[in-house]
Structure 1
Amino acid sequence: MKQSNFTQQTHFIGVLLPEDLTLTLEDCRRYMNEAYGCKSGHGTPIHVTLVPPFKLQEEYSTEDLVCAIKKDVLPERLGFSAHIENFSAFGDRTIFGNVIANDKWTKLRDKTVKAILNACPGCTKKDQRIFQPHATVANRDIPEGVIIEALQVMNELNLVEDFPVDNITIFERKGNRWVESVSIGI
């Protein structure tokens, strides 16, 4: 049942990370694959999710999403410098590059969700949890009991870096992969 819902998701919205960070985090994905057999996430570009995957109803288009972001988010001039500091995990289900949360991330997420809901009512809903920006390395298929060891290995990289939040990117599902559809500079 969960799998069929997963395949119905057509879009999500996020922030692509710069190439140097992307390469480092892709190396970590490779490590998780080689050391523990993790394959989840390999079909998705490295990003920070603003709006989780949703099904865009047939009466709407990707262009509707683009127009909504340009109209309701871009005028706010929400670009900023963000900070990533090593790796962390959500319980035993997700390992991620630890992007430090702040009010700027929350405002960007909230404005983006509101713009999408105004343009395409009912396609998604605002997550009520506190927003924790993160760059996923592995999820869903992490073997039991390996999180602590994997985090120790990755944190030896001492990944501490500032990076620009300079885009809002719409991703679309193409087969079993997520691809960058439109990237809008902010």
Structure 2
Amino acid sequence: MNQSKQRFFIALVPPPEIQQQITEIKQYFAEHYNSRSALKSPPHITLQPPFEWPAAEVPKLEESLKKFSAHRLSIPVSLCGFAAFAPRVIYVDVVKSPELLEIQTDLISYIEANLGIVPPVNQNRPFVPHMTVGFRDLTKENFQAAWLEFSGCQLHFEFTAAALTLLQHDSSRWNISKQFPLNIEPPTNLTQS
């Protein structure tokens, strides 16, 4: 029996108009700073880092994510300016809201308990929500030049993350595999008259 594995990660993906603008920034990094790796995935905020999963069990993974998402509210997300993991990564900064921190913590616990997916060795790193625009292929010189240009740049977007997104690697890039809608509003027993 073939037990081939596929690579996935779980993220929040912004709406198309914000994706387009962030992708244009990534394109700028590719053209001006020779950093193309960030273009290998749609703009996203990683909640669960890449993991391997048996190809034959993808329906189980999807069903589990569907169950998790069904009991979650959509999340307000604010993108504000730029920040960096020096000396190689520049990203659009994501405001660490309580809702964002909560869904990330709960998701990690849920998939570990229900699917046995354990975070990699670096699991002790704190969650820093971000949207990468210049990736590890930035040279130190290009990082310094790009950081000089972008560190003071103003950027502000707000959106509501209405779904968890499962991304799958196809051996050259990450693609959206499936989205799992979050509830738009909390269930309520109050009726408006």
TM-score higher than 0.5: yes
The question of 1:99 aligning with 2:90 is answered: no
SS at match of 1:41: helix
The question of 1:125 aligning with 2:119 is answered: yes
Q: Percent identity?
A: 23
Structure 1 residue 56, shift from structure 2 partner: 1.0
Q: Report how many residues are paired.
A: 176
The residue type paired with residue 76 of structure 2 is: S
In structure 1, the residue matched to 2:76 is 81
Output aligned runs, 1:134-173, within 5 Å: 134-154=130-150, 158-173=154-169
Output aligned runs, 1:45-84, within 5 Å: 45-57=42-54, 60-61=57-58, 63-77=59-73, 79-84=74-79
Matches of 2:77 and 2:94, distance apart in 1: 7
In structure 2, the CA distance between the partners of 1:119 and 1:166, relative to structure 1 (3 Å rule), is same
Matches of 1:161 and 1:114, distance apart in 2: 29
Matches of 1:59 and 1:118, distance apart in 2: 20
Could you tell which deviates more after superposition, 109-118 or 123-132? 123-132
| Runs (5+) with no aligned partner, structure 1 | 1-7
Matches of 1:135 and 1:97, distance apart in 2: 5
In structure 2, the CA distance between the partners of 1:141 and 1:9, relative to structure 1 (3 Å rule), is farther
TM-score using structure 1 length: 0.85
TM-score using structure 2 length: 0.82
Matches of 2:132 and 2:156, distance apart in 1: 16
SS at match of 1:168: strand
The residue type paired with residue 154 of structure 2 is: N
Larger Rg: 2
| Runs (5+) with no aligned partner, structure 2 | 183-193
Structure 1 residue 146, shift from structure 2 partner: 2.9
Could you tell which deviates more after superposition, 170-179 or 149-158? 149-158
Output aligned runs, 1:37-48, within 5 Å: 37-48=34-45
SS at match of 2:37: coil
Structure 1 residue 149, shift from structure 2 partner: 3.1
Matches of 2:106 and 2:168, distance apart in 1: 20
Matches of 1:48 and 1:28, distance apart in 2: 16
What is the RMSD computed on CA atoms of the aligned residues?
Answer: 2.0
* Contact 2:79–2:95 (8 Å) recurs in 1: yes
Structure 1 residue 125, shift from structure 2 partner: 1.7
In structure 2, the residue matched to 1:110 is 105
Matches of 1:76 and 1:95, distance apart in 2: 30
SS at match of 1:142: coil
Residue-by-residue CA offset, 1:126-161 (whole Å, 9 max, x unaligned): 732221111111211101133343234345652112
In structure 1, the residue matched to 2:190 is none
